[in-house]
Amino acid sequence: MDMSETALHTPAVSGRKIGDVILEVKNISLRFGGVKALTDISFDVREHEVRAIIGPNGAGKSSMLNCINGVYAPQEGSITFRGNTFKHMNSRQVAEMGVARTFQNLALFKGMSVLDNIMTGRNLRMKSNLLLQALRWGPAEREEIANREKVERIIDFLEIQPFRKTPVGRLPYGLQKRVDLGRALAMEPQVLLLDEPMAGMNVEEKQDMCRFILDVNDEFGTTVVLIEHDMGVVMDISDRVVVLDYGKKIGDGTPEQVRSNPDVISAYLGTNH
């Protein structure tokens, strides 16, 4: 991958205040049989920042996100979220604590409308029992109306109002990615994990997605952790970057520090300078 990919000229990260550490990954190691996916990985994420995880294909980036959001259980290490340390949590526990996730491969309900797909992100916020929800009676009806209003605001925010009733499967890929982001935002996360949110997009679609990520970070105060291959994007929108290669950490710092790190240059360019 070329470290010199064209930057997208997105707006600079605004003057929001970066807070204390909200998430800490400490000495995480993950194996599948005899294959080491991650080896002794440690880094932290500060509140309100955009934290990027980069690395060549097979570096362990998605595996790292899967450990954070409870899909994988690492053999060693711990993850601390808001001062609470865990060896392993399941995905529902992680979501209930305020961590939402999008996936590299879209897992949307293609036959359902944009609005209904994003509504599925509100499930954890539903307090009424299933019978009341099914009957749409009393508190359940009021709750659904309130949740629908929140979803409509997300649809407005992501500028997909014309497609709110359209089955997701009929939308262009870039808009489907936007719906996936909307579903995660519907959970009102404190930390948003984005797995290659711009994969497969053209330059214009990437510019739009960069803008939405920065707006989520700035206007909602949401902490963002993202995996991204486009180095122009990473250097434009990230506060700090951690670099993985073959499941090991080879760099960590500001975009400028990472850009000049000899180990990172070697891993990306296949050179020794």
Q: How far apart are the C-alpha atoms of 265 and 271, rounded to whole Å? A: 7
Q: Name the residue with higher pLDDT: 158 or 16.
A: 158
238: CATH: 3.40.50.300
| Same-domain status, 81 and 132 | no
| Same-domain status, 66 and 86 | yes
Q: Kindly report, residue by residue over 181-198, the tens digit of the pLDDT.
A: 999 999 999 999 999 999
Least confident residue range of 10-24, 27-41, 162-176, 184-198: 10-24
The answer to whether position 169 is within a domain reads: yes
| Same-domain status, 197 and 227 | yes
| Same-domain status, 94 and 207 | yes
Q: What is the DSSP string of 53-92?
A: EE-STTSSHHHHHHHHTTSS--SEEEEEETTEEES---HH
* pLDDT band at 242; cut points 50, 70, 90: very high
The answer to whether position 90 is within a domain reads: yes
The answer to whether position 104 is within a domain reads: no
Taking residues 44-52, what's their average pLDDT? Answer: 97
| Same-domain status, 94 and 196 | yes
pLDDT of residue 14: 47
pLDDT of residue 15: 53
The answer to whether position 92 is within a domain reads: yes
Q: Kindly report, residue by residue over 67-122, the tens digit of the pLDDT.
A: 999 999 999 999 999 999 998 888 888 988 999 998 877 778 999 999 999 999 88
| Same-domain status, 121 and 159 | yes
pTM (predicted TM-score) = 0.85
The answer to whether position 117 is within a domain reads: yes
The answer to whether position 79 is within a domain reads: yes
Q: How far apart are the C-alpha atoms of 57 and 29, rounded to whole Å? A: 18
Q: Which of 251, 224, 220 is nearest to 237 (CA)?
A: 224
pLDDT of residue 4: 45
The answer to whether position 103 is within a domain reads: no
| Same-domain status, 52 and 160 | no
Least confident residue range of 3-12, 200-209, 217-226: 3-12
**Residue 231 buriedness (CB in 10 A; 0-12 / 13-18 / 19+):** buried
The answer to whether position 258 is within a domain reads: yes
| Same-domain status, 89 and 197 | yes
| Boundary (domain end) residue, out of 159, 188, 217 | 188
* pLDDT band at 128; cut points 50, 70, 90: very low
pLDDT of residue 11: 40
pLDDT of residue 6: 43
Taking residues 231-259, what's their average pLDDT? Answer: 93
Residue 152, number of CB atoms within 10 A of its CB: 14
| Same-domain status, 164 and 266 | no
| Same-domain status, 93 and 14 | yes
| Boundary (domain end) residue, out of 188, 208, 237 | 188
Q: How far apart are the C-alpha atoms of 13 and 239, rounded to whole Å? A: 8
| Boundary (domain end) residue, out of 188, 203, 230 | 188
Average pLDDT, the chain: 86
Q: How far apart are the C-alpha atoms of 191 and 66, rounded to whole Å? A: 14
In degrees, rounded to 5, the angle at the alpha carbon of residue 236 between the alpha carbons of residues 234 and 240 is: 60
pLDDT beyond 70 at 18:
yes
Residue range of the domain that includes 56: 1-98+190-273
- Give the total number of structural domains in the chain: 2
pLDDT of residue 272: 45
